[in-house]
Amino acid sequence: MTKRSRVRVSVAAALLAAVALVAAGAVAALLLLPGPAAGTPEVQVGGSAVRVTTEPFDGARQVSVTATVVPSKTLTTTETGRVTASACSAGREVRSGDVLLTVDDRPLLALATDVPLWRDLGSGAQGEDVRAVQTELVRLGHDLVPDGDYGPATRAVVREIQEAVGVVRPDGYLAAAAVVWLPHPAVTVSECLLGVGDPTGDGQVATVAGGLTALTVVEPPGEGWVVRLDGTTGAVDADGIVRDAELLAVAAQSEPYLLSQEDGTNRFTVELALAQEVDVAVLPPSAVVATGDGRGCVRSADGDSRTVEVVASSLGQTMVTFVGGPPPPSVLVRPDDRTTC
Query: Which residue ranges form the domains of the chain, and what is each CATH number?
Result: 43-57+278-332 (2.40.420), 61-68+212-274 (no CATH), 121-174 (1.10.101.10)
| pLDDT of 338 | 79
Task: Assign residue 304 a region (left: φ > 0; alpha: ψ between -120 and 50; beta: otherwise).
Answer: beta
* The pLDDT value given to residue 244: 87
Q: Quick one: pLDDT at residue 7?
A: 33
What is the rounded CA–CA span in Å between residue 86 and residue 123?
Answer: 30
pLDDT tens, residue by residue, 129-182: 999 999 999 989 999 999 999 999 999 999 999 999 999 999 999 999 999 999
Per the confidence metrics, is the pTM higher than 0.85?
A: no
**Residue 136 burial (10 A CB sphere; 0-12, 13-18, 19+):** buried
Least confident range of 122-126, 158-162, 275-279, 314-318: 314-318
CA angle 218, 273, 329 (to 5 degrees): 125
* pLDDT reported for residue 19: 30
Q: Once rounded to an integer, what is the mean pLDDT over residues 279-299?
A: 92
pLDDT at 184 over 60: yes
pLDDT digits (tens, 9 = 90+) for 237-270: 989 999 887 899 899 999 999 999 999 999 999 9
107-117 mean pLDDT: 94
Q: 20-34, 40-54, 123-137, 206-220: which has the highest mean pLDDT?
A: 123-137
